[in-house]
Amino acid sequence: MINQVTLVGRLTKDPVVKYTADGRPFLNMTVAVNRPYRNQEGVAETDFIFCTVWNKSAENTAKYCQKGSLIGVLGTIQTRNYENTDGKKVYVTEVSVHTVRFMDKKRSTASELLPILTIP
């Protein structure tokens, strides 16, 4: 059996690392991925995919990415359920991310953007 997911999309908000009770870092994020076709009105629709990243990958993603960053993720689909505060069972489908690739170009520093002026 195969359970493998590859996504390329943009982060919908700034990533924030959280920690489990035993100190393990994790990050919940949503990746916006455009569908490869347009609807009847000619508009490209977008899927918002919930993802969970663990350990050093979570810390690096929070450190180097922000809302709108283009990323690639590799992982597996997982499902889980829990009871909400009303006692109803809630089912969640998410991507458990194994690898994150930062796909934006490296940002330039302010000094690299300023022209060099020479005074005669």
Q: Residue 43: in which H helix or E strand, if any?
A: none
CATH topology of domain 5-102: OB fold (Dihydrolipoamide Acetyltransferase, E2P) (2.40.50)
Domain boundaries, the chain: 5-102
pTM comes to 0.80
Interval 68-97: pLDDT, tens = 999 999 999 999 999 999 999 999 999 999
pLDDT for residue 113 is more than 90:
no
Indicate whether 100 pLDDT > 50: yes
Burial pattern 27-47, b for ≥16 Cβ within 10 A else e, equals bebbbeeeeeeeeeeeeeeee
Chain segment 21-56, per-residue pLDDT in tens: 999 999 999 999 999 888 889 888 999 999 999 999
List all residues 6 or more positions away from 45 whose beta carbon is below 8 Å from its beta carbon.
34, 35, 38, 39
- DSSP letter, residue 108: P
pLDDT at 58 over 70: yes
